[in-house]
Amino acid sequence: MSAQHALWHPFADMGAVDGDRMVITRGEGSYVWDDAGRRYFDATASLWYANFGHGRPEITEAVSRQLGELDSWNLFGYNANRPAVELADRVAALAPEPGSKVFFGSGGGDVVDTAVKLARAYFAQTGRPEKVHVIGRAQGYHGTHGFGTAVGGIPANAAGVGPQPPSFSHVAYDDAAALEAEIARVGASRVAAFFCEPVIGAGGVLLPPDGYLEEVAAICRRHEVLFVADCVIAAWGRLGTWFGIDRWPVRPDMITTAKGITGGTIPLGALVVAPEVASPFFTGKPGAPIFRHGPTYAGHPVACAAGLATLDIYEREGLIPRGRELEKPLADAVSSVRGHTLVAEVRAGLGFLAAVELTPEVVDADPGAPVKLQRACRDEGVIVRNLGRGVAVSPPLVAAEPELDLLATALPKALDRLAAQV
Ligand code: PLP
């Protein structure tokens, strides 16, 4: 489908996309088909989320059953619906902190913005209203809502849209001492939260140095700064554990998650809140402070029914540990391009995600080279994602040896095709 249409794609060069739109019409397991009937290995799990693959009848059944029973109901005030109540309990039971509470949203960006507001609301309710500053990391990505854009550390994503909100700053993504220095600069009495992806995803698949997550968590605790683990990508098996951050011995105050919570089938985000942070709002008596926040579709019953069916699949099929079991095979597969003249770096080995970065010479000469590499992989039957100065992969957790072999073969061929173009 190459003609011009009304559809405006996120993060897209529409001048290029209009002539080269890839319309996917069907999916099954680790594979998808386009409107010309071509099959591809979906090495991206669409957008880091189709963790159990595509085309699951269990989800179709759960969603249609829910639509037949109760097609919508909200959570405002006294309102509730059964799937939201059940899913919140199941997510909380899996959370690292016993007694956690769960606040739903429509996706990752929703719950990131919820987390910023709740961090500030928590300090306001506990007598420290001046604690409002939020620190993120260079190259961090936290969605495209207002606060998520501000806490994100990819400058291009905040450029050209006017001034960003005050009281946000950023530190190097791999230096715990830089966080402590920034807290000292701002003043611990003014800092509310630090946002941290266990593995930076959209910023280029950047792995944390050994000991980094433990150190930043300890620094946050020392200065009474809330440690918010953004596990929108990292959770639901991507790093081989339920939330991703629970791979390390740290205790986040809040965890943001979305995507794989429904395998991407229905939009849903969840903010997991440790009991201490929730406590001002759960006094057990009427008249408790109210968190005046909540999107219309928070805890939509159809999304939560998909979430419940998703957790069933992960549990029944033992998919969660696969994110760790498959990290070495994936690293081996992408290592097929180590040493290629166009490749500067291969990042892999922690969780079921990886990136191949092109050399500065290639990208400086042609900033479109990552898109061309993505296109060349597509021509080899594999969908990868162009990201920053290279491409990223994050296959469904149901992918196995044949799919990883396909990737290992397609990547070098695609790089050779690119070499012929640059
Ligand atoms: N946080 C992280 C770490 C993400 O990777 C993303 C999306 O990729 C988001 C937040 C935003 O989620 P959404 O796109 O569902 O708003």
Cα-to-centroid distance, 143 and ligand 1 (Å): 4
Domain boundary (317, 334, 361) is at 317
- pLDDT tens, 277-320? 999 999 999 999 999 999 999 999 999 999 999 999 999 999 99
Answer yes or no: is the ipTM higher than 0.95.
Answer: yes
Cα-to-centroid distance, 323 and ligand 1 (Å): 19
Domain extent at residue 113: 70-317
Q: In angstroms, how far is CA 21 from the centroid of its own chain?
A: 24
pLDDT bracket for residue 1 (50, 70, 90): low
Q: Which atom of ligand 1 is nearest to the CA of 258?
A: 15
Query: What pLDDT, on a 0 to 100 scale, did the predictor assign at position 202?
Result: 97
Query: What pLDDT, on a 0 to 100 scale, did the predictor assign at position 226?
Result: 99
Distance CA 105, CA 53 (A): 23
Tell whether the torsion through CA atoms of 293, 246, 217 and 202 is positive or negative.
negative
Cα-to-centroid distance, 80 and ligand 1 (Å): 26
**DSSP strand pairing (24-28 vs 31-34):** antiparallel
- pLDDT tens, 5-25? 999 999 999 998 887 899 999
Cα-to-centroid distance, 55 and ligand 1 (Å): 23
Atom 11 in ligand 1: residue holding the nearest Cα: 143
Q: Give yes or no for residue 171 CB within 6 A of ligand 1.
A: no
Q: Count how many domains the chain has.
A: 2
pLDDT score of 2 more than 70: no
Whether residue 80 is contained in a domain is answered as yes
Q: Give yes or no for residue 142 CB within 6 A of ligand 1.
A: yes
Mean of all residue pLDDT scores within the chain: 97
Distance CA 255, CA 275 (A): 12
Query: What pLDDT, on a 0 to 100 scale, did the predictor assign at position 137?
Result: 98
Could you tell me if 88 and 199 lie in one domain? yes
Domain CATH code at residue 30: 3.90.1150.10
Whether residue 2 is contained in a domain is answered as no
Q: Which of 352, 317, 319 is nearest to 333 (CA)?
A: 352
Of 232, 238, 245, 353, the residue with max ligand 1 atoms within 8 A of its CB, to mutate for a pocket test, comes to: 232
Give Cα separations from 259 to 47, 89, 168, 233, 408 (angstroms).
Answer: 8, 18, 25, 7, 26
Q: Give yes or no for residue 258 CB within 6 A of ligand 1.
A: yes
Whether residue 9 is contained in a domain is answered as no
Domain boundary (257, 291, 317) is at 317
Atom 9 in ligand 1: residue holding the nearest Cα: 143
Could you tell me if 338 and 242 lie in one domain? no
Which helix or strand (DSSP H or E) is residue 358 part of?
A: strand 354-358
Distance CA 109, CA 350 (A): 24
Residue type, 168: F
Distance CA 329, CA 150 (A): 36
- pLDDT tens, 200-237? 999 999 999 999 999 999 999 999 999 999 999 999 99
Of 11, 49, 116, 142, the residue with max ligand 1 atoms within 8 A of its CB, to mutate for a pocket test, comes to: 142
Atom 12 in ligand 1: residue holding the nearest Cα: 108
Cα-to-centroid distance, 205 and ligand 1 (Å): 14
Could you tell me if 37 and 148 lie in one domain? no
Q: Which of 288, 282, 237, 278 is nearest to 259 (CA)?
A: 237
Query: What pLDDT, on a 0 to 100 scale, did the predictor assign at position 20?
Result: 84
The 3-state DSSP class for residue 53 equals coil
Whether residue 191 is contained in a domain is answered as yes
Of 112, 262, 297, the residue with max ligand 1 atoms within 8 A of its CB, to mutate for a pocket test, comes to: 112
Cα-to-centroid distance, 112 and ligand 1 (Å): 8
Whether residue 4 is contained in a domain is answered as no
Atom 7 in ligand 1: residue holding the nearest Cα: 143
Q: Give yes or no for residue 154 CB within 6 A of ligand 1.
A: no
Q: Give yes or no for residue 385 CB within 6 A of ligand 1.
A: no
pLDDT score of 406 more than 90: yes
Could you tell me if 34 and 88 lie in one domain? no
Minimum mean pLDDT range among 16-25, 214-223, 241-250, 403-412: 16-25
